[in-house]
Amino acid sequence: MDLKVVLYEKRDGIAIVTMNYPQRLNALSDQLRNDLMMAYEEALNDKEIGAVVLTGTDRAFCAGADISGFKFDTPSIRKFMRGVMHFLAYLEKYPKPVISAVNGLALGGGLEIAISSDIIIASEKARFGVPEAAIGLAPGFAIIRLHQIVGRAKSKELAMTCDQISADEALRIGLINRVVPHEDLMDASMEMAKKIISKAPLAIELIKSSVNRDLHGEELTYAMDAMSGLFKTDDVKEGMDAFLNKRKPVFKGL
């Protein structure tokens, strides 16, 4: 499969899917999102593939959404929210186990991609954060998932302060499963994947579906509707403009 911003490799019964848009820190553009879905579908339809390892190139796993050229009219906002939210929720119901090998920055949508997978193994160089409030938004998918993983108080702290945390801190609060030396990241992730696929595949599928059985229902619709409203505020336009022009935003609560 020849994808411009996603690399796909099949090795030892495992699909290795790599986000390859380093010039934008693997920002979640429409093309990257679409190409990731193509890779997920290829792995799903390949009976020889038992698990997926998802990672990034260079110094980022994924640094969040690509907001350049964003349109603020209502149809565009709703289309964007539907596409992003369904994309992020997709892996939760994906029948095969998915391991995120977080090689660097996992911010905003990047953190959300990671927590939609089943297991997160992080390089010691990884950094995690939900910076959306700094541009007037809220973390659409993380706002309905992060508290289930790290607790309500910690999820509010991360979302409200927009602080980035280290891989060690992410491990301490239960956000990720393991931290390894940077050079060992893919070996550790492949070892985990091989251990999982050596077990009975139907049992693994049932374990995943049972643990995730309560996920993505009405809360997704709520988040999409709420986020669509935020996108129409003056603060979001100000925040995005400030971010793109590398200046400090001036928010007015409008």
Query: Which residues on adjacent β-strands are paired with residue 55?
Result: 18, 101
Query: Considering Cα of 18, then 185, then 92, then 161, what sign does the dihedral take?
Result: negative
- Both structure tokens of 170: 């992410």
- Both structure tokens of 45: 């339809």
**Number of helices and strands in the chain (H, E):** 10, 10
Q: What are the phi and psi torsion angles at 109 (to 5°)?
A: -60, -25
Distances (CA, A) of 150 to 19, 86, 174, 188, 236: 26, 22, 6, 23, 27
Are the CB atoms for 193 and 14 separated by under 8 Å?
A: yes
The stretches of 7-151 forming alpha helices (DSSP H) are 30-45, 74-90, 109-116, 142-150
165-166 vs 127-129, strand pairing mode: antiparallel
Which one is catalytic: 9, 41, 42, 132? 132
Contacts of 168 (CB under 8 A, 6+ apart): 124, 179
Query: Is 92 annotated as catalytic?
Result: no
Query: Which residues on adjacent β-strands are paired with residue 17?
Result: 8, 54
Which one is catalytic: 112, 124, 157, 191? 112
Are the CB atoms for 239 and 135 separated by under 8 Å?
A: yes
Query: Is 218 annotated as catalytic?
Result: no
* Catalytically annotated residues: 112, 132
